[in-house]
Amino acid sequence: MNLAGKKILLGVSGGIAVYKSCELLRLLQKKGAEVRVCMTDAATEFVAPLTFASLSKCPVYLKNGAVEARPFQHIDFPRWADLYLVVPATANVIGKFACGIADDPVSLCFMSCTCPRVIAPAMNVAMYNSPAVKRNLEILRGFENTTVLESPAGELACGEVGQGRLMEPAEIAKYLETRDEKPALSLSKGRETKGEKVQCEPPAISVAVDIPPTQDASLPGFGKKVLLTAGRTEEAIDPVRYISNRSSGKTAVALASVFYANGFEVEVVAGPMEAEFPKGVRVTKIRSARDMHDAVLERMKNASVLVHCAAVADYRPKVAATEKIKDSRSQLILELEPNPNILRDSVAQKRDDQVIVGFALETDHFEEHAAEKLAKSGADALLLNAPVATDSGFGRDCVRFALVETGKPVPQLAMGEKVDLAETILNFCLERLNG
């Protein structure tokens, strides 16, 4: 399916994966689709409706309505759409779909929808494997014009490992583009229904399968590689304790998704983090700043773009104890020494045809500190971000940011989605690569 000009209704139900629906919405828009959104009350507890309204430029269909709401949205929204996409689909809303219950915008739209319907489940592995959910998914697979996407195995938000993860936004978008040519993605043997291969039973052993990226020569990043750093680093004090910070990795995931959606080969050197990368992204996991330093310098040779997004510890303990330091309630003095500067050392090895972007996280004197750091680093640009603000920063979808370029005044910080931040960096890098 060519998404350009398509009208997609995005149904969002309540789960931790709701933030990925924002990313999916932007990916669909970048491919030319027009998107509207309906939400359950539970979904609004994770991401505010204003976020989806701002991204879609259309009022969100909510149970309690909105100022712009019309009385027949449960009919008008599905009738407007060429495709109804439910992401994420929780166990609760899947049960409603299967049993014909329609008591919220997402289930009402499903009931009255006559266009193709695509459902992406997301839940804990125990719920996903429960007899009720398995039965309900099997019922939905038998519905006419309805596709249930695979729920990949991997580490879940709760820390458990198994099936139940939401299929990554980039993978969902890629499936929608190819759904007319080939069957739905599946990681296990399935049955044939109306020309599409769908899953019947979860595999006995849960295995995370990395689906390699499909290059599209029409995309601006075709044939180019971006190397990202992500997450945080941990500097050992003893085998139990360490020095670190609060970075969740969500900004790096937005960057990886945006570069990937624009055709880049994406490689990431990642420290510990909570956010998850889309399939097709090659990830090397490290823990300390020195490990990240060595991995970046080794891998940067084949990259067209480097984006240093990781929150790297500036210092590490000079001596790390080999055994746990006992609690004697006496004062403990830690002697610290500086970690290598990964950004500056990569700039020292930079080729003329490479673009390097660093990050500067500041809490005060933004313009002064950002300009100073850019000058010292020698990077092509710095993404200045200020995470200390209400409902923004660490672990959130929004942040105040500005792109600082060499020889130009520091622009005003503006609040935006982390996907907007990623697109700002992407556009800068493409301009530089194109001369």
3-state secondary structure the chain: CCCCCCEEEEEECCCCCHHHHHHHHHHHHHCCCEEEEEECHHHHCCCCHHHHHHHHCCCCECCCCCCCCCCCHHHHHHHHCCEEEEEEECHHHHHHHHHCCCCCHHHHHHHHCCCCEEEEECCCHHHHCCHHHHHHHHHHHCCCCEEECCCCEEECCCCCEEECCCCCHHHHHHHHHHCCCCCCCCCCCEEEECCEEEECCCCCCCCCCCCCCCCCCCCCCCCCEEEEEECECCEECCCCCEECCCCCCHHHHHHHHHHHHCCCEEEEEECCCCCCCCCCCEEEECCCHHHHHHHHHHHHHHCCEEEECCECCCEEECCCCCCCCCCCCCCCCCCEEECCCHHHHHHHCCCCCCEEEEEEECCCCHHHHHHHHHHHHCCCEEEEEECCCCCCCCCCCEEEEEEEECCCCCCCCEEEEHHHHHHHHHHHHHHHHCC
Which residues are part of the catalytic machinery?
158
